């Protein structure tokens, strides 16, 4: 039982703490942003090293290291966006009355550079770990990438809970690209497909022939995917999810200019 419990607990904690830390740092005074990104970049360098150093480690420790390093890499990517360092060429709200494909193209422009950075990181990770025995880092990164895109598309198509309170002041204009609706056609597809994958991962993790490494890695990734599904449900169910990170968002936002 502990073979399942520890990976679940670890994934839960690092998801909760890393999300809160990013929210907290982004709400600090503008003068602290350079220091935050400098520190995050140093952590990124360590994470990239650990990700590739653990590529041949098929112990449970190797699974934890790869999972953590992939999450830290993703955290840097998210910080670069929420702190306004790598976003997109468009930094204005959606024009009134803009709909359809034009609205979608403008929404893409808002985070185009950021999306290209994600493609670059994802390509390098997939290529660098292509034939490695330890693929936990790759699975982790791509789960975060796919579910992030799913959440963004669901917000674009429409959801009752937009959670704009999590946006820093300089990104509040992003709310104009979201739609407040009861539900959209993509939501059940996103949640159903992801849930099926979680179940398949857990069945494989519990299989009699699974090694400790395989079980640990699959439970870590399944838990992360399960949390991403939970975040999707937060979009449609009125749950007090903001209270999970109240310690991180209670500080006052500091207005500042976005960066290119």
Say which residue the tokens 């306004």 belong to: 84
Question: DSSP letters of 59-91?
Answer: SHHHHHHHHHHHHHHHHHHHHHHHTTSS--S--
The torsion angles phi and psi of 138, rounded to 5 degrees, stand at -65, -45
pLDDT of residue 57: 96
Q: Which of 174, 135, 170 is nearest to 254 (CA)?
A: 170
> Tens digits of per-residue pLDDT, 41-76?
999 999 999 999 999 999 999 999 999 999 999 999
> Tens digits of per-residue pLDDT, 102-143?
999 999 999 999 999 999 999 999 999 999 999 999 999 999
């Amino acid at each position: 039982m502990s073979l399942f419990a520890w990976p679940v607990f670890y994934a839960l904690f690092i998801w909760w703490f890393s999300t809160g830390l990013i929210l907290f740092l982004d709400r600090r005074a503008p003068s602290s942003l350079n220091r935050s990104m400098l520190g995050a970049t140093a952590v990124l360098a360590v994470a990239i090293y650990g990700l590739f150093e653990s590529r041949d480690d098929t112990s449970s420790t190797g699974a934890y290291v790869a999972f953590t390093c992939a999450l830290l890499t993703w955290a840097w990517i998210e910080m670069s966006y929420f702190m306004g360092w790598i976003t997109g060429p468009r930094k204005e709200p959606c024009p009134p009355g803009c709909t359809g494909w034009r609205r979608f193209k403008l929404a893409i422009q808002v985070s185009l550079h950021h999306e290209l950075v994600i493609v670059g990181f994802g390509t390098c990770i997939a290529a660098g770990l292509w034939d490695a025995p330890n693929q936990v880092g790759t699975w982790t990164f791509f789960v975060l990438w796919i579910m992030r895109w799913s959440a963004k598309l669901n917000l674009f198509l429409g959801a009752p809970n937009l959670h704009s309170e999590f946006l820093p002041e300089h990104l509040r204009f992003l709310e104009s690209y979201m739609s407040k609706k009861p539900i959209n056609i993509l939501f059940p597809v996103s949640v159903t497909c992801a849930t099926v994958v979680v179940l398949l991962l857990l069945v494989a993790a519990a299989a009699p022939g699974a090694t400790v490494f395989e079980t640990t890695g699959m439970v870590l990734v399944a838990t992360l995917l399960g949390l991403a599904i939970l975040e999707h449900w937060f979009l449609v169910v009125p749950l007090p999810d903001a209270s999970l990170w109240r310690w991180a968002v209670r500080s006052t936002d500091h207005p500042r200019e976005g960066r290119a």
